[in-house]
Amino acid sequence: MVRLFRQLLLLTGKAGLARFIFLGLLSGASSFLFINFVNKSVGYIIAGHFEEKRLQYTALFAAVILLFVVVRRVLSLGLIRLSQTLFWNIRKQIIGCVLNSNYRQLFNKKADIQAAMTNDVNLLTTVSLSIIGFFTAFILAIASLVYLASISFVLFLITLVVAGAGSLVYHFSAMNNNERLKKGHLLERDFFRSMDTILDGFKEIYMEPKKGKAVYDEKIKRIAKNAYRNNVSAFTGFLNNQIIGQVLFYILIASILLFFSFVLKIKSQDIVSFVFTLLYLLGALETILTTIPVLSRAMVSSDRLLDLTENLRANSDRNRIPKKYMTAAEFDSIVIKALQFKYGETAQDFSVGPVNFDLRKGEVVFIYGGNGSGKTTFMQALTGLHIPDAGEIRLNGLLVTNENYPEYRSCFSVVFSDFYLFDELFGWKNPDQEKFLYYLRLFELEGKVTLEGNRFSTTDLSMGQRKRLALIASLLEDKPLLILDEWAADQDPYFRKKFYTEIIPLLKQSGITIIAITHDDKYYHCADRVYKMEYGKLMEKPVGEYAVS
């Protein structure tokens, strides 16, 4: 909660926070003044002296109601604006952290990010609005207690004992309830993971519905059952606290009317004022008690959000925008020595390396190997998508380090096997239209797609055509190196032949250096060098040797 308060302080500033506090005090004070004037009016009515005070109290009631309306509206509008600022700032902050995080780190946090963006952020927005009622009720409760003490100090002490007993019951119960809320957040994260399984694997589920049913029965239903029990238990605990508080106050009010008023010989007018104020105090305490569960959930959510953003910020400098982009003419070579990468910490975890590899300007290199041999992992380590655990990479003789990884990574245009085709050329404001039309003809997509400003007219194409468009988009970036992961796998035999025998030579002639993962062994002669990846080891093979089993 302290970290959330600091974030609010950054949004409002000290002056803004002081303004909110002052308005909150005025809001609570106006409510208390209304109660006070009601009590005094009742006292005058009982004493038979109200007629002479009617005009005065009419003006006072009008002033208090006007004050309440003005203060509540100004405070509410301010908090509405603050809540929306908080809502969108946190969302933008998370997205910013996502964009600055490294690939491996983000991959492991996907479910946490989804839960944060949909659940935690919305909850904090709701809480920021309910703070109006909470803060007003808190001020009203304090003022009511002070007023009760002025009527009868003995009854005030009895009221404090009752309130203290209720607070102790709430405190011990709230500790368990907060633990249940934390468990509920973890179950929410697991739910989003299972939902991603269904959404990301829907093609496979559509082909074999038993897979979807298994995920639903074994994951979704189990999480829903556990979350239902956990959340019902947590909110039942808060409800019990609220009921216990109300019962204690009802017993207190009955005791004052039936017992203490006679024993302590308190005047009827003071008893009426005391009980009337107690009823308002009870309403304020109910508001506080019903808001506290939401605040407790908000504390959990705020801690989760801040932990998430802090975690994503780790190593965020590795994904900053490069200070300088290398052109094809400036690229000379990449030399890799003893590069190693491992997915886990144990000896059984898959690893790649040590790999020694060099790439010279204008070369075409093909890499092949069986499934799980480490081809894609090596590519990801080569391009900086994964940071190697050991070894060194030199670009044009310069050692690649954490400080210059963004510049190194910006040398590559990549079309992954599981590529994502953007519908717009983000980051390139003025794409070369002539070059686009040239590539459009080369890749035989004329009449199927156009470039309207930065946006493609459509991406609703076949998989093979989508891959061609993704490659065109990569080529328009004018990077010196092109990485292709099983790019030709979705092309028909005619275009596959054209790609290897016509397009690759043209790209090479234009100065682009190419590394391609491919199993099209009949076209290995189109490469300058061919490598085989096996059990995480990279071995060079003579060009034209067909070793694919």
**Is position 326 within any domain?**
no
Q: Which residues of the chain have pLDDT under 70?
A: 1-14, 16-17, 105, 107-108, 111, 128-129, 131-133, 170-171, 173-175, 178, 202-204, 206-207, 293, 314-319, 344-349, 544-549
- pLDDT 10s digits, 450-498: 888 888 888 888 989 999 999 999 999 889 999 999 898 889 999 999 9
Judgement on whether residues 24 and 120 belong to the same structural domain of the protein: yes
**Is position 277 within any domain?**
yes
Look at residue 143 in the predicted model and tell me its pLDDT.
80
Query: In the listed set 316, 351, 376, which residue is the last one of a domain according to the structure?
Result: 316
Place of tokens 């965020």: 316
Judgement on whether residues 306 and 399 belong to the same structural domain of the protein: no
For residue 350, give every residue at least 6 positions away whose Cβ sits within 8 Å of its Cβ, in sequence order, or none.
Answer: 342, 343, 344, 372, 374, 377, 536
**Is position 223 within any domain?**
yes
Look at residue 171 in the predicted model and tell me its pLDDT.
67
Judgement on whether residues 151 and 91 belong to the same structural domain of the protein: yes
Query: In the listed set 316, 342, 362, which residue is the last one of a domain according to the structure?
Result: 316
398 forms bridges with which residues in the sheet? 395
Judgement on whether residues 77 and 181 belong to the same structural domain of the protein: yes
Look at residue 508 in the predicted model and tell me its pLDDT.
92
Amino acid 60 reads L
**Is position 305 within any domain?**
yes
Distance CA 281, CA 143 (A): 9
**Between the CA atoms of 503, 504, 506 and 512, what dihedral angle is there, to the nearest 10 degrees?**
130
Q: What is the greatest pairwise CA distance in the chain? A: 113
User: H/E element holding 414?
Assistant: strand 412-415
Judgement on whether residues 395 and 508 belong to the same structural domain of the protein: yes
* Domain with 132 in it: 2-316
**Is position 440 within any domain?**
yes
- pLDDT 10s digits, 344-375: 665 566 778 789 999 999 999 999 988 888 88
> In Å, how far from its chain's centre is CA 22?
33
Judgement on whether residues 312 and 362 belong to the same structural domain of the protein: no
Neighbours of 337 (CB within 10 A): 14
Judgement on whether residues 131 and 262 belong to the same structural domain of the protein: yes
> In Å, how far from its chain's centre is CA 462?
33
For 525, the token pair is 């002669």
**Is position 324 within any domain?**
no
> In Å, how far from its chain's centre is CA 525?
48
Judgement on whether residues 26 and 174 belong to the same structural domain of the protein: yes
CATH code of residue 167: 1.20.1560.10
Angle of helix 121-151 versus helix 153-200 axis, rounded to 10: 170
Look at residue 548 in the predicted model and tell me its pLDDT.
42
CA-based nearest residue to 23, from 106, 190, 139:
139
Judgement on whether residues 114 and 170 belong to the same structural domain of the protein: yes
Q: How many structural domains comprise the chain?
A: 2
Look at residue 321 in the predicted model and tell me its pLDDT.
72
Q: Is the pTM of this model over 0.75?
A: no
Distance CA 244, CA 363 (A): 78
For 280, the token pair is 């308002």
**Is position 525 within any domain?**
yes
Judgement on whether residues 15 and 110 belong to the same structural domain of the protein: yes
CATH code of residue 426: 3.40.50.300
Query: In the listed set 270, 290, 316, which residue is the last one of a domain according to the structure?
Result: 316
Judgement on whether residues 142 and 208 belong to the same structural domain of the protein: yes
Distance CA 189, CA 192 (A): 5
Place of tokens 């590069």: 339
Judgement on whether residues 12 and 44 belong to the same structural domain of the protein: yes
**Is position 322 within any domain?**
no
